[in-house]
């Protein structure tokens, strides 16, 4: 990695796409406009500077949307050796890595919903530095077991 690069985005894969007609949709009721968004971090147990970000968004039955939609993507990242502490690496991965991946998630949502009988969903932009603080106070709460880590293929 070059001297000024603190995070390297290698690639992403689509882990899951679910798109179903919501039979319980009621157009007389208000719909929840913002989907449920989640972020998980998986750290490699072999290399201290390799991470996966699992980023997803979901409209479920409770959202009262015309469809039930869930998209989950996995990003492959490497942090610079200059970042020494685990907390520093996590902060960079969560804020910067999520911000790097979010446009891919937004594009998948828009593409899937543009093919329906309803208006396409365009997810709003997010300030991930602020958003992650709302989700969890402790950065370690984003971590999930390293057995879920995958190498970029």
Query: Model-level pTM?
Result: 0.88
Angle at which helices 128-135 and 98-113 pack, to 10 degrees? 90
Picking from 78, 99, 87, 79, the residue whose alpha carbon sits closest to that of residue 138 is 87
What pLDDT score does 2 carry? 55
Q: What average pLDDT does the structure give for the chain?
A: 87
- What is the DSSP pairing of strand 67-79 with strand 50-59? antiparallel
Residue-wise pLDDT for 102-139, tens only, equals 999 999 988 988 887 877 888 888 887 777 767 666 77
Give Dmax over CA atoms of the chain in angstroms: 56
Picking from 88, 53, 82, 59, the residue whose alpha carbon sits closest to that of residue 71 is 59
């Amino acid at each position: 990695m070059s001297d000024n690069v603190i995070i390297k985005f290698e690639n992403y894969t689509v882990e899951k796409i679910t798109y179903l007609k919501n039979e319980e949709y009621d157009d007389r009721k208000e719909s929840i406009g913002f989907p449920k968004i989640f972020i998980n971090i998986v750290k490699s147990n072999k290399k201290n500077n390799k991470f996966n970000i699992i980023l997803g968004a979901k409209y479920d039955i409770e959202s009262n949307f015309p469809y039930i939609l869930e998209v989950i993507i996995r990003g492959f990242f490497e942090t610079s050796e200059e970042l020494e502490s685990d907390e520093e690496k996590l902060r960079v991965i969560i804020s910067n890595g999520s911000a790097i991946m979010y446009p891919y998630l937004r594009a998948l949502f828009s593409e899937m919903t543009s093919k329906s009988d309803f208006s396409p969903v365009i997810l709003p932009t997010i300030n991930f530095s602020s958003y992650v603080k709302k989700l969890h106070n402790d950065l370690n709460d984003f971590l999930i077991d390293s057995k879920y880590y995958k190498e970029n293929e």
